[in-house]
Amino acid sequence: MDIVYIRELEIRTIIGIYDWEREQQQIVSLDLEMGSDIAKAAATDTIENALDYKAVAKRLINFIENSEFYLVETMAEQVTEIVLKEFNVPWVKLRLGKPGAVTGSKDVGVIIERGSKPA
């Protein structure tokens, strides 16, 4: 299986459990790896046969900008569900980070994999 990826997609949203976090947007950062067979896209050289990473990014930006989650875990589950269901992806790995959330660290967050990744 091939992998189509998006790195360091930064989106502003309401995220967090503290009162101040519910009042101002923060940045979340996404790295996505999505299983895809790129052979047909490569052979035809057309976007219709490719996993359109721009369409994926636009969908996730819209979803996250309009969300108000308390936990990155919940956001991560819903993001992977969108990718799997709406973009016909059999497997996705997501790193969802919340930069600056912990003093002294560059980033904190979760890494999850969902779907079936062929051997």
Pair 32, 5: CB distance under 8 Å: yes
Alpha-carbon distance of 46 to 14, in angstroms, equals: 37
Pair 10, 29: CB distance under 8 Å: yes
Radius of gyration of the chain (CA): 15
Which is the catalytic residue, given 58, 98, 106, 117?
A: 98
Looking up tokens 């980070």, which residue turns up?
Answer: 97
Does 85 participate in catalysis according to the annotation? no
| Residues forming the active site | 98
